Amino acid sequence: MATKKILLTAVFGPYGVKDKYADGIGMQMELLNNQITREQGIHSPRQSYWSFGLYLLAENISVPSTVLDFPSWNDFTQELNKGYTHVGISFIVPNVLKVKRMAEYIREHHPEMKIILGGYGSIIPDLDKLLPYDELCTGEGVQWLREYFGEDSSMPVKHPAVFGPAFQSIYGFKSKPKGSILMPGLGCENGCTFCITSHKFKKKYVPLLPTGKDIFNACFNSENKLKTTGFTILDENFLKNPERARQLLEEMTFRNKAYVFDIFSSAEVIMSLGVDFLVRLGVRMVWVGVESKHNLHAKTKGIDLKALIKKLQSHGIIVNASAILFQEHHDYKALCEDIDWVIDLESDLVQFMNYTPFPTTSLYEKFEHEGRLNYLPYRHQHGAGPLAFSHPYITNSSDHIQYLKNAFRRKFEEHGPGILNMAMTAIQGYKRAKQDFITRENESLVWNPATLRYEKSDQPSKDTFFELRLRKMEKIAKNLRPILLAAWAYAPNKLARNKARKAIHDYNSVFGQPKFKTKMESFVLLGTGATELMKTWALKLFSQEGIVYQPPVKRTEYPLPNQLIDTPIASYPSVYRSLEYSSNLSTP
């Protein structure tokens, strides 16, 4: 019998280009340009993200493996010729036809290879009728693969050190990706009716890094290997486990490491923990589901979201509010009211997404029971196209596409570029944090890790950890400074131009006039921005929404188990202070 060897692969590209396998609009391999800063043209930061789950799987099995990320069709077929006993493909629902092509090719040309499928696409109820495969992993993959290969599934999960973005650029200027990612757990207990990430894991939270110390160690490992100190935490509701977040802060304080995080969190959890805790923890950006002004979900009930967002921003925390269009109560009037309401929340960024009943969710079951599921091929189920259910009021499918697009356009016209909003939040937060730090020193207020509040103390000691935090906040704001000139020069309207002018003024008042290096960076962005603008105009002539970038292909071999050895905790340098900042959304 052949020695086991597994290829772990993503679906093949190109992505975001409509062909017979997948859609174009809504399917770019980007987060911001696809569903947040869409319609913002050259102001939209461009970034793709590696297929993180694959690296997590490879790192945690003993069977030799290769991860093939973002292959072209040729890359994929050539890789198969290198000889594998198993091929694991990770996919989401709208990419099912790509997997079908891959699986059929394997069956025809390499019938001896076992096909294992996993990821969100595994929720498709009639998958076995659509394509050939041998095994289907519907839940957490590390444990599943270990059990499948007869390995010890009780071993702790080893977190890989991976960069977040595969590429990044702003105003047409490409820079080296710096930020990293963390995957502390999967799923969410809240079980909101439409939420696939909650339902996929049966409304349970599946921890991968159960303690704050585990998370700290994963950060430390990434810093050692990749020099990253900024992390996007891929956890649906990171603060839902406050004890773990609290342990993480304690560990960072103890080790003098002020790491920076972008997180997802529901509003009710943020309210209970308090903004001071988030600032101290190093939250740079938070993604909050606001969904609808009627606060139909428990996570937002009774919360003044506008006040919460303003408070977070005043402390330098960038807010991305996500909202769902075409909910059941949305007739045309209610839909427009909700879009107005979301824009009026004045978050830095907004994600708009169409209501999608994915199989396994309670929403899907409800619509199925009511006979309201529409036949919408899986490849179109990505949340930016026609609805997959018959809507009580809005039945015209071109309206589903157009209202979504217009919502992004309105956000841009009313609040200007998201990147400019981020810069404004960063500078006001830094200014405030500095002031608060002085006030606390004068009033002998010290951090109490038990109550998560600043409290009066008879023996106040110097808050050295917060000094580190301040340096990080300063760096975050400074990273964003070079975009201001381009944001001003290419502003979409007077409102945005005035906003950019104000931002330049705020930056000058906090940091003084820009130094030569910053000025040069600003002029470079102005130049690359002009080229990018011309490319965008040219594409508009051919009725294309904008430039679709493709992520690079990456092949990583994991030849022997445990070959990539983590730095043991015992070898921590006793004094190790890194002030270097990097983050997934950092500008050049």
The tokens of 231 are what? 């992390």
- The least CB distance from residue 189 to ligand SF4, in Å, is 7
- The least CB distance from residue 397 to ligand B12, in Å, is 17
Q: Find which of ligand SF4, ligand B12, none residue 52 binds, CB within 5 to 8 Å per kind.
A: ligand B12
Query: Residue 132, preceding bond cis, omega within 30 degrees?
Result: no
Site string for ligand B12, 181-220 (x = CB under 6 A): --x--x---------xx-----------------------
Q: What is the DSSP string of 222-255?
A: HHHHH---EEEE--TTGGGSHHHHHHHHHHHHHH
Binding of ligand B12 at residue 407 (CB under 6 A)? no
Contact by Cβ (8 Å): 468, 260: no
Q: Which is nearer to ligand B12, 51 or 300 (CB)?
A: 51
Q: Find which of ligand SF4, ligand B12, none residue 339 binds, CB within 5 to 8 Å per kind.
A: none
Binding of ligand SF4 at residue 195 (CB under 6 A)? yes
Site string for ligand SF4, 268-297 (x = CB under 6 A): ---------------------x--------
Near ligand SF4 by CB under 6 A: residue from 24, 191, 561, 588: 191
Sheet strand arrangement including 173-175: 46-49, 165-170, 173-175
Beta strand pairing call for 349-354 and 318-325 = parallel
**Could you give the CA distance from residue 276 to residue 256 in angstroms, rounded to a whole number?**
18
- The least CB distance from residue 263 to ligand SF4, in Å, is 12
- In this structure, what DSSP letter does residue 580 have? -
Tokens 């006793």 found at: 574
Q: Find which of ligand B12, ligand SF4, none residue 40 binds, CB within 5 to 8 Å per kind.
A: none
Q: Which is nearer to ligand B12, 35 or 228 (CB)?
A: 35
Angle formed by the axes of helices 305-314 and 418-442, to 10°? 70
- The least CB distance from residue 91 to ligand SF4, in Å, is 21
Q: Find which of ligand B12, ligand SF4, none residue 116 binds, CB within 5 to 8 Å per kind.
A: ligand B12
Within residues 235-254, the interface with ligand SF4 by CB under 6 A covers: 236-237
Binding of ligand SF4 at residue 200 (CB under 6 A)? no
CA neighbours within 13 Å on the CB side: how many for 563?
A: 11
| Candidate segments 88-96, 210-218, 474-482, 536-544, binder of ligand B12 by CB under 6 A | 88-96
Near ligand B12 by CB under 6 A: residue from 80, 93, 387, 525: 93
Which of 472, 488, 463 has its CA nearest to residue 426?
A: 472
| Candidate segments 105-113, 194-202, 249-257, 533-541, binder of ligand SF4 by CB under 6 A | 194-202
Which of 221, 79, 261, 60 has its CA nearest to residue 148?
A: 60
Q: What share of the chain is helix, strand, coil (3-state, %, to 5)?
A: 45, 15, 40
Binding of ligand SF4 at residue 262 (CB under 6 A)? no
Contact by Cβ (8 Å): 382, 95: no
**Distance spanning both ends of the chain, measured CA to CA:** 52
Q: Is 291 left (phi over 0), alpha (psi -120 to 50) or beta?
A: left
Site string for ligand B12, 113-132 (x = CB under 6 A): ---x-xxxx-x---------
Q: Find which of ligand SF4, ligand B12, none residue 95 binds, CB within 5 to 8 Å per kind.
A: ligand B12
Binding of ligand SF4 at residue 188 (CB under 6 A)? yes
Interacting residue ranges for ligand SF4, rule: CB under 6 A:
188, 190-192, 195, 197-198, 236-237, 266, 289, 299
